[in-house]
Amino acid sequence: MAAIAATAPPLAQAKDAIEAPVASRAARPGAGALKLRLASAAVLGPLALAAAWFGGWFFAGLVALAGAGMGWEWARLSGAGTGPAKAAVIATALAAIAVSALGAPLPAVALCLVGAAAVWAVARSGAAPSPLWTAAGTLWLSLPCVAMLWIGMGEDGRALVFWLFGVVWASDVGAYAAGRALGGPRLAPHLSPNKTWSGALGGLVSAGLIGGAAALLAGAPAGTLVALSLALSVAAQAGDLVESLAKRRFGAKDSGGLIPGHGGLLDRLDSLLTATAGLGALLLAGLAPPFALHP
């Protein structure tokens, strides 16, 4: 009996050693979450590509729906989710998108600025907890919507939007896959505890591959397109970190629950917002990608 009792602790330790990795794996995001993400992407991706292909009011309508949804989520996230402040956030996004769709991007930008100031005033008068955050987020989501329509409705807009989508999606998928597979040191633990350097590098590599593929299709200089794709990947990953900062600031896990496996629209589109703003800045600086695919 003494011998049996003496062997009990080692047996218990062995059982714990076997069960601990199992519990650890169970705590991580599993195959079910990944399947939800893939299913959502399979629906939303073709919808976005179709809208970009047909252009015009189809594209503007999709951007308007996204802008209104993101405005609703941001007002809720920043603590201005009821009353006039919420309406001001959504109205600013929709008004700027409508003006941009009519072919007036500069007035649309001015409207974003005026609207953000109005959001700040309304949120402050309504005793919202963070009026500056609410106003800044209004700019963060409305300006890229204006830029998206300006890019998509310009010369070679369809090709530019397809390339932009490809770079951002590849960057997101590459970062997610590399981060899960390799792990390692955290990229910015004070902003997001889950982002890793391996994920960031995976996103850059994936975006660079898209740039190389676009260069082959267009017969354009590969070095230039790869470099621009890497720059947009950096912008996309910065957008992801910015939203992580905002969610940490307001103590939220997701911006919403509209998209299964992803959370809200802002959770899905945060990287596209900053990448679109980055591409708009490149175009304004005369650094347009050297291709015209005309699909």
Q: Is the pLDDT of residue 14 over 90?
A: no
* Domain assignment of residue 29, yes or no: no
pTM: 0.84
Nearest of 239, 156, 149 to residue 200 by alpha carbon: 239
The kind and range of the H/E element at 186 are: strand 186-188
- pLDDT for the residue numbered 150: 95
Q: What is the pLDDT of residues 158-198, one digit of tens each?
A: 889 999 999 999 999 999 899 888 888 898 888 888 889 99
* Domain assignment of residue 253, yes or no: yes
| Tally of domains in the chain | 2
* Domain assignment of residue 6, yes or no: no
Distance (Å, whole) CA 287 – CA 295: 21
> Quick one: what percent of the chain has pLDDT higher than 90?
55
Regarding whether 159 and 292 lie in a shared domain, the answer is yes
Distance (Å, whole) CA 244 – CA 259: 17
Distance (Å, whole) CA 170 – CA 151: 20
Boundary-marking domain end, from 154, 181, 207: 154
Regarding whether 169 and 282 lie in a shared domain, the answer is yes
Angle between the 265-284 and 131-152 helix axes, to the nearest 10 degrees? 60
* Domain assignment of residue 1, yes or no: no
Domain that holds residue 215: 155-295
Q: Check if the beta carbon of residue 295 is closer than 8 Å to that of residue 158.
A: yes
Regarding whether 198 and 63 lie in a shared domain, the answer is no
* Domain assignment of residue 267, yes or no: yes
191-195, long-range: CB < 8 A, 24+ apart: 191/241, 191/244, 191/245, 191/248, 192/240, 192/241, 192/244, 192/245, 192/248, 195/237, 195/240, 195/241, 195/244
Q: Which residues contact 74 (CB under 8 A, 6 or more apart)?
A: 89, 134, 137, 138, 140, 141, 255, 266
* Domain assignment of residue 21, yes or no: no
Regarding whether 89 and 71 lie in a shared domain, the answer is yes
Regarding whether 178 and 66 lie in a shared domain, the answer is no
Regarding whether 239 and 267 lie in a shared domain, the answer is yes
Q: What is the pLDDT of residues 46-86, one digit of tens each?
A: 899 999 999 889 999 999 999 999 999 999 999 887 789 99
Regarding whether 248 and 118 lie in a shared domain, the answer is no
Q: What is the DSSP string of 109-156?
A: HHHHHHHHHHHHHHHHHTT-S-HHHHHHHHHHHHHHHHHHHHHHTSTT
